[in-house]
C-alpha cells in the first residue's frame, strides 16, 4: 500500500515529527539513484514511516519494546509483524520483536509483499546491504544465491526493492530498526513477493526450510491486515485471518487471500513463513497482539489492521485441535436448509434465500459437503473445502450444486425430491500432514494436492469401503487424477481434516464420494 494513499495508517511522518536534515539527505539520495554504491540500498522511507534521526529512532523503538508485555516462547521459529508507519503499527510490531530480546540469530529472512511493482516471482535482493538511520544491514549474499537456485519462482533481483521517492518500498525497511535494536548484528535475506499464489508460497517456504534447517535463522513475515474498512468490520475480517493462522490452515488462507475473501497485503509472506516454519518443526501459532489504526487515531471510519504473531515448537499433544460442535436444533436447521435449497434449485433453477438464523454458530465460516443419496445409492456430493461463507450459506450452496452440478450424475429431477436423503459433513480447518502415521482411518478426511490437481475424500468413505490407511492414500491420489504413488512425491501436499457428520436417515449402503 502506498504511503501517500495510506495517509494516517501507513503514511507521512507529518506533524508527529519534523523532517530532519538527515531525512532530506536520505530521501534525496533515494530519489536520485534508487540504489547506493555496490548494491547498497539506501533508506527510502526514513522521515516518513519512522524518524530519520538515529537517536530519535532508537528511542522510539526502545519505547515500543518496553511497553510490549509478552511471555517467553522457547522454540521460536518465525514471526509476523506489520509494516505501517511507526505511530500506527509500531506498538503492535513490538510484541513480535520483544520475543527476540536475549536471543541470537546470525541470519534473518524478511519476506514482504510488493506494493508498487508487478512481479511474477519472489525477488531476493541481489545487492550487498540495506540501510536505515541505525546503520547498514549486510545481505547474506551466499545464502541469497543458494535460495534463488532452488526454484524458477525465486530469483536474485533488485526488482521490488524499490527506492524511488514516494513509491519507495517500505515493507522490509520498516522491520529493520526493530531487528537492529533487538538483535544487533545479523545478516539479512530480503525477499519481495510478487506472485502470492499457493504454489509460489510453497516454493519459497520449502526452499527456505531446506536451507535454514539447523542454523540460527529467524523468519519474519511482513504484513498488515485489512485496509480501509469501518472499525467493527475491520475487527471482524481481521479475526478471521488471525483465527486461520492459529488453526494453521494456510491452504485455506492462501485461497481466501487470492479470492479477496480475507485480507492481508502480505498474505503470501505469511503463508510462505508458515510453510517454512512447519517444516522446521513449528506446530503452534499464537497471536500476540491485535490493533488497528483507529485504536491510535480515534478515527474509526477507515482503518488498517495490524497483528503480531509467533510460530514456535511445542510438544505434539499441545498443538491446537478443532472443538466445533452443533446442537440437535442446529443440525436440523442445516438439514432443512439443504432440503429447501435442493427443492428450489431443482424446481425453480435459483438459489434459495436463507432466512436469518438465530444461531451465531451457523454464521461462522466453515467448509462443508452435502451428500445426496437415493435408495441408498450416491446421487451427488459437492462441497466447499475452505471456509468461504457462513456455514448456513455454504450448506445452501453446496446442496444445490450436489443436486444439479455433480458431473458424475444427471441433474436431480422434481420427481426424485421425495426420495432423497441428506448427509452433511461440516469440515474442520485443514492441517498439512507431516507424518502419514498420524492419519486415522474413520477420523480423518484427506485432501491430496499436487500443482493444479487436487482430490478430497471424506472421513466416512474409507470406513464404508473398508480401506486401510495405505488404500485410503492411494484412493485419494486417484480421486485427484494423480498416480497412485503420488502421495510419496515430495511435491505432493497431503492435508487432513475431521468432519462433523449428520443426516436425516441411518447410514446407507457403501458409496464412493
Residue 195 CB burial class (10 angstroms; 0-12, 13-18, ≥19): middle
For 174, the grid coordinates are 520498516
Cα–Cα nearest to 401, from 362, 365, 370, 367: 370
Count of domains in the chain? 2
Q: Say how many CA atoms lie within 13 Å of 305 toward its Cβ.
A: 27
Of 270, 211, 218, nearest in space to 101 by CA? 218
**pLDDT band with cut points at 50, 70 and 90 for residue 12:** very low
Tell whether 226 and 89 lie within a shared domain. Answer: yes
Q: Lowest-confidence range among 96-110, 199-213, 499-513?
A: 499-513
CA distance 435 to 141: 34
Q: What percent of the chain has pLDDT over 70?
A: 89
Is 382 within the bounds of a domain? yes
Domain-located, residue 510: no
Looking at the structure, tell me whether residues 307 and 333 fall in a common domain: no
Half-sphere exposure of 362 (CA within 13 A, CB side): 21
Q: If DSSP states are collapsed to H, E and C, what string results for 231-300?
A: HHHHHHHHHHHHHHHHHCCHHHHHHHHHCCCCCCCCHHHHHHHHHHHHHCCCCEEEEEEEEEHHHHHCCC
pLDDT at residue 35, rounded to an integer: 58
The residue with greater pLDDT, 198 or 510, is 198
Q: Which helix (H) or strand (E) holds 381?
A: strand 377-384
What is the rounded distance in angstroms from the CA atom of residue 130 to the CA atom of residue 104? Answer: 20
- Structure confidence at residue 166 (pLDDT): 78
DSSP letters for 96-161:
HHGGGTT---SEEEEEEE-SSS--SSEEEE-SSEEEETTEEEEB-HHHHHHHHTT-TTEEEE-TT-
Residues 32 and 91 grouped into a single domain = yes
- Apex 407 CA angle, 406 and 408, nearest 5: 90
Q: Give the mean pLDDT of 252-272.
A: 96
| CA 459, 328, 261, 305 torsion-angle sign | negative
Q: Quick one: which of 363, 359, 348 has its CA closest to 403? A: 348
Mean pLDDT of 459-474: 97
pLDDT digits (tens, 9 = 90+) for 212-241: 999 999 999 999 999 999 999 999 999 999
Of the three residues 278, 295, 318, the one that is the final residue of a domain is 318
pLDDT in tens, 31-63: 333 555 569 999 999 999 999 999 999 999 999
pLDDT at residue 283 tops 90: yes
Assess if residue 512 is contained within a domain. no
pLDDT at 108 over 60: yes
Give the span between the Cα atoms of 139 and 190, in whole angstroms.
Answer: 8
Please list, in sequence order, all residues whose beta carbon lies within 8 angstroms of the beta carbon of residue 65, skipping any fewer than 6 positions away. Answer: 94, 97, 98, 101, 178, 181, 182
Is the same domain home to 366 and 493? yes
Q: Are 342 and 245 part of one and the same domain?
A: no
pLDDT band at 69 (very low <50, low <70, confident <90, very high): very high
Sequence-ordered list of residues with C-beta below 8 angstroms from that of 323, at least 6 positions apart, any chain: none
User: All 3 cell numbers of residue 218?
Assistant: 529467524
C-beta separation of 69 from 94 below 8 A = no
Residue 509's closest CA among 371, 370, 375?
A: 375
This prediction has a pTM of 0.90
pLDDT confidence of 315, banded at 50, 70, 90? confident
Phi, psi values for residue 30, rounded to 5°: -65, -45
When pLDDT is averaged across residues 189-213 and rounded to a whole number, the result is 97
Q: Is residue 188 a part of any domain in this protein?
A: yes
Q: Mark which of 318, 350, 373 sits at the end of a domain.
A: 318
Name the E strands within 385-485. 420-427, 431-432, 445-450, 453-457
Residue length of the chain: 513
* 372 and 459 part of one domain: yes
> Which residues does 412 contact at the CB level (< 8 Å), separation at least 6?
342, 346, 372, 379, 380, 403, 404, 420
Which residue has 499457493 as its cell numbers?
198
Which residue, 280, 297, 318, sits at the end of a domain?
318
Closest CA to 147 of 217, 79, 77, 224: 217
Cβ atoms of residues 255 and 320 within 8 Å = no
Quote the CA–CA distance of 64 and 355 in Å, as a whole number.
Answer: 48
Structure confidence at residue 32 (pLDDT): 35
Give residue 414's pLDDT. 97
Indicate which CATH number applies to the domain containing 212: 3.40.830.10
Confidence bin at 81 (pLDDT 50/70/90): very high
Mean pLDDT of 443-470: 97
3-state secondary structure of 408: coil
Q: Are residues 392 and 444 in the same domain?
A: yes
- Residue 11's pLDDT is 43
Average pLDDT along the chain: 91
- Structure confidence at residue 203 as a pLDDT band (50, 70, 90): very high
Report the alpha-carbon distance of residue 488 to residue 337 in Å, rounded: 40
Residue 280 phi, psi dihedral angles, 5° rounding:
-95, 5
Query: Domain limits at 294?
Result: 3-318
424, 364: one domain = yes
Terminal Cα-to-Cα distance of the chain (whole angstroms): 44
Residues 122, 22, single domain; the answer is: yes
Determine the 3-state secondary structure of 505 from DSSP: coil
In this structure, the strands spanning 217-222 and 107-113 are: parallel
Res 513 pLDDT > 90:
no
pLDDT tier at 505, thresholds 50, 70, 90? low
The rounded distance, in Å, linking the Cα atoms of 436 and 470 is 9
Q: How far apart are CA 497 and CA 482, in angstroms?
A: 20
Contact residues for 37 (Cβ-Cβ < 8 A; gap 6+) = none
Question: Same structural domain for residues 100 and 186?
Answer: yes
Instruction: Please indicate, yes or no, whether residues 441 and 492 belong to a single structural domain of this protein.
Output: yes
**DSSP assignment string, 73-96:** -TTEEEEEE--S-HHHHHHHHHHH
The reply to whether 366 and 230 lie within a common domain is no
DSSP 462: H
The answer on pLDDT for 322 being more than 60 is: yes
Dist CA 11 CA 7 (whole Å): 5
pLDDT of 324 reads 87
Residue 323 lies in a domain: no
249 confidence band (pLDDT: 50, 70, 90): very high
Residue 132 has pLDDT above 50, yes or no: yes
Provide the 3-class DSSP secondary structure of residue 444. coil
In CATH, what number is assigned to the domain containing residue 386?
3.30.700.20
**Judging by DSSP bridges, how do beta strands 154-157 and 217-222 pair with one another?**
unpaired
Q: Is residue 509 part of a domain?
A: no
Amino acid at each position: 500500500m502506498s504511503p501517500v494513499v495510506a495517509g494516517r495508517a501507513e503514511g507521512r511522518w507529518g506533524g508527529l515529527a519534523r523532517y530532519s536534515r538527515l531525512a532530506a539527505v536520505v530521501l534525496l539520495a533515494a530519489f536520485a539513484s534508487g540504489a547506493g554504491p555496490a548494491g547498497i540500498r539506501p533508506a527510502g522511507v526514513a522521515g516518513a514511516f519512522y524518524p530519520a534521526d538515529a537517536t530519535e529512532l532508537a528511542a522510539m523503538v526502545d519505547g515500543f519494546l518496553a511497553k510490549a508485555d509478552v511471555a517467553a516462547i522457547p522454540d521460536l521459529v518465525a514471526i509476523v509483524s506489520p509494516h505501517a508507519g511507526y505511530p500506527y503499527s509500531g506498538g503492535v510490531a513490538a510484541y513480535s520483536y520483544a520475543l527476540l530480546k536475549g536471543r541470537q540469530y546470525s541470519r534473518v529472512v524478511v519476506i514482504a509483499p510488493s506494493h508498487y511493482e508487478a512481479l511474477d516471482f519472489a525477488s531476493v535482493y541481489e545487492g550487498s546491504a540495506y540501510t536505515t538511520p541505525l546503520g547498514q544491514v549486510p545481505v547474506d549474499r551466499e545464502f541469497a544465491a543458494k535460495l534463488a537456485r532452488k526454484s524458477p519462482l525465486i530469483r536474485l533481483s533488485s526488482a521490488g526493492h524499490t527506492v524511488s521517492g514516494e513509491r519507495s518500498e517500505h515493507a522490509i525497511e520498516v522491520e529493520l530498526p526493530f531487528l537492529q535494536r533487538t538483535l544487533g548484528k545479523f545478516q539479512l535475506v530480503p525477499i519481495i513477493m510478487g506472485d502470492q499464489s499457493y504454489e509460489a508460497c510453497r516454493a519459497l517456504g520449502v526452499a527456505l526450510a531446506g536451507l535454514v534447517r539447523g542454523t540460527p535463522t529467524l523468519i519474519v513475515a511482513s504484513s498488515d491486515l485489512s485496509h480501509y474498512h469501518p472499525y467493527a468490520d475491520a475487527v471482524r475480517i481481521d479475526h478471521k485471518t488471525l483465527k486461520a493462522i492459529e488453526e494453521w490452515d494456510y491452504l485455506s488462507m492462501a485461497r481466501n487471500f487470492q479470492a479477496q475473501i480475507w485480507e492481508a497485503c502480505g498474505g503470501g509472506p505469511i503463508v510462505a513463513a508458515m510453510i517454512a516454519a512447519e517444516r522446521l518443526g513449528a506446530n503452534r501459532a499464537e497471536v500476540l497482539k491485535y490493533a488497528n489504526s483507529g485504536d491510535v487515531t480515534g478515527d474509526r471510519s477507515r482503518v488498517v489492521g495490524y497483528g503480531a504473531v509467533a510460530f514456535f515448537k511445542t510438544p505434539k499433544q499441545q498443538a491446537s485441535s478443532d472443538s466445533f460442535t452443533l446442537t440437535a436444533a442446529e443440525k436440523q436447521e442445516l438439514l432443512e436448509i439443504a432440503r429447501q435449497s435442493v427443492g428450489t434449485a431443482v424446481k425453480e433453477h435459483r438459489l434459495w434465500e436463507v432466512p436469518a438464523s438465530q444461531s451465531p454458530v451457523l454464521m461462522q465460516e466453515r467448509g462443508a459437503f452435502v451428500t445426496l443419496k437415493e435408495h441408498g445409492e450416491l446421487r451427488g456430493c459437492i462441497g466447499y473445502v475452505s471456509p468461504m461463507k457462513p456455514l448456513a450459506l455454504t450448506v445452501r450452496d453446496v446442496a444445490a450444486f450436489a443436486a444439479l452440478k455433480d458431473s458424475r450424475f444427471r441433474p436431480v429431477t422434481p420427481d426424485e425430491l421425495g426420495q432423497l436423503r441428506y448427509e452433511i459433513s461440516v469440515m474442520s480447518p485443514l492441517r498439512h500432514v507431516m507424518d502419514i502415521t498420524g492419519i486415522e482411518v474413520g477420523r480423518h478426511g484427506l485432501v491430496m494436492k499436487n500443482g493444479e490437481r487436487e482430490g478430497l475424500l471424506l472421513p466416512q468413505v474409507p470406513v464404508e469401503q473398508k480401506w486401510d490407511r495405505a488404500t485410503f492414500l492411494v484412493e485419494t491420489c486417484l480421486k485427484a487424477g494423480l498416480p497412485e504413488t503420488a502421495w510419496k512425491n515430495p511435491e505432493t501436499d497431503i492435508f487432513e481434516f475431521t468432519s462433523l457428520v449428520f443426516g436425516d436417515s441411518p447410514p446407507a449402503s457403501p458409496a464412493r464420494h
